[in-house]
Structure 1
């Protein structure tokens, strides 16, 4: 062990306890059973963790990370997000080839510009990236805000479970699952996102029609950002015909912008839903629901205007009060 790693273990760097024979995450190592402990302020230092024993735990409840995707504070057509003097940390935590891993906690404070146009701010990024053989992963109790994507599941990360996570002010997808994997999103709060859950492989020829994504007991509120010259947001689920089938239960989808995009995606969402019960669709604006908006299947209750906002405020507060174990930022009172 060189001096830098030794000093990391000694406490001058954030503490990391790693399994023997596992990849060396940055900052030092100390064997401590089938568990990694991340603690302290990591700032712009990426943590890349790989090749853990099956079923390992990564305890990040006392760890804080900074995410930044833009090299300037106000990307534009003249000066994009790849130009400028600012540091970037586009993937603060990357987990590779860790089957059955349980990642717990972690506070991700993003510096993604919130007022610039979406297309100029699009330097791809995610707070937590899970990929390359990390099957059956459980991600629990993550707090992230002001990120591009919140949590991304990429190739060979099948069977994921996202539980009790709180994501807010997300410029793109709260959850990106563009590899069309089966998984569960359970008891989560996505409080203000341009897109909720992405199940869109774009131009890639992927087929998720034999897969299933379950959304259980979760709250998803959309938030309008500047995108292609318009203040708007996408649908709660970005679906295409090849997307996985959907089981949606005891969940709330809240639409915030009267000029929202994604009506075709919303129609596909309802068409792909094979189970729906005890859900609520909220139309938060005072403007009437557009006649072209695809209405949900049975199993959804529809509320509009003041009634919708009251329902969201109550459900939002109840979730936060019930999840005191999820780490807070210093400027959050609850």
Structure 2
């Protein structure tokens, strides 16, 4: 489909994306999942602060209930890393990986509140001390991560080393300085019914300099809201693409999902091209251009399956979808200053 045709036929926000499951049904689903566990149940509760929690070698399909647990994420030893004093220099406490799950196949993790201390206004390149609220790794295949609330982190949830067929669902991540989800080991998986509100990059599927080929894998993004957040990066306030795709990324199924672009000077046009090229299914989605500035002529647009909204119309669409998601997920943990 050419650009002019796409702009002409783009319709209203997809109804399904704006009508998530009811609060009652969501509560039933969250509290019923423990009944599916065939392994032991571990309960985490209280404030872990800067102490790392390492969970490993659980029996298959164990349940980890962290609905009443809180963690602190901190990647920088000082509050304002710069070219002279980087994030590895200073005296502030750090907790770069507050929760690590290793070799726990079929684990079901539910809940958890992760409060970040990652600097939000300093340049990305000086703040880049790798970190993630949750690190799922080393043979933790078929994992389900559900009902997580995380904010002001470097990465949100990172999957590495034999974690195929992961599922991240019903989670609210906001103010993420890098990737809301990092899947640079190119595992198959599902991101379902999630709200990513203000991330520099949405879902990363790029092995970078590491060898990897995920072209036979599939990542599904379903009924999720992904708004990009603009941060200072290499001297410019901008953001990356909703999906950080490479030529070797997994195939993509994107359904009933909203991508919202915030910065008129956004980066990642080549990654957007790869995202559209890797799609094998696309339906009932929306692409929101939130700035009042015109869409750049060079911005790659999807071939099909996305309605396009711009300016005030796009912002209204996002606000409505976000409000409905928050209202319909009352059991996701909240911070004291979160919306109810």
Q: Distance in 2 between matches of 1:297 and 1:174?
A: 25
C-alpha separation in 2, matches of 1:39 and 1:297: 47
Measure the CA separation in 2 of the matches of 1:37 and 1:216.
Answer: 29
> How far is the alpha carbon of 1:294 from its aligned partner?
0.2
Match status 1:331 vs 2:337? yes
**Structure 1 residue ranges (4+ consecutive) displaced by more than 4 angstroms after TM superposition:** none
For residue 93 of structure 2, give the secondary structure of its aligned residue in structure 1.
coil
Q: Give 1:201's match in structure 2, choosing from 196, 203, 207.
A: 207
Is the counterpart of residue 118 in structure 1 residue 128 in structure 2?
Answer: no
Rounded Cα–Cα distance in structure 2 between residues aligned with 1:142 and 1:250: 21
Q: CA deviation at 1:46?
A: 0.2
Post-superposition offset of 1:117: 0.1
- 2 CA distance for matches of 1:76 and 1:103? 36
Count of paired positions: 302
The answer as to 2:144 corresponding to 1:138 is: yes
Structure 1 partner of 2:249: 243
Q: Which residue of 2 aligns with 1:13?
A: none
Whether contact under 8 Å (1:178, 1:199) holds in the other structure is yes
Which residue does 1:303 correspond to in 2? 309
TM-superposed deviation, 1:227: 0.1
Look up the match of 1:160: 166
Q: Distance in 2 between matches of 1:64 and 1:85?
A: 23
**Conserved? CA contact 1:140–1:163, under 8 Å:** yes
**Aligned match of 1:50:** 56
Cα drift, residue 296 of structure 1: 1.2
Give the drift of 1:54.
0.2
Q: Distance in 1 between matches of 2:139 and 2:173?
A: 25
How do 1:1-334 and structure 2 match up within 5 A? 34-334=40-340
SS of 1:81 mapped into structure 2 = coil
Please report how far the alpha carbon of residue 305 of structure 1 lies from its aligned counterpart in structure 2 after TM superposition: 0.3
Q: Structure 2: where are the runs of 5+ without partners? A: 1-38
After TM superposition, give the deviation of residue 333 of structure 1 in Å.
3.2
Question: Which protein has greater RCO, CA pairs closer than 8 Å, 6+ apart?
Answer: 2
Give the Cα separation in 1 of the matches to 2:255 and 2:73. 32
Question: Any conservation in 2 of the 1:59–1:103 contact (CA below 8 Å)?
Answer: yes
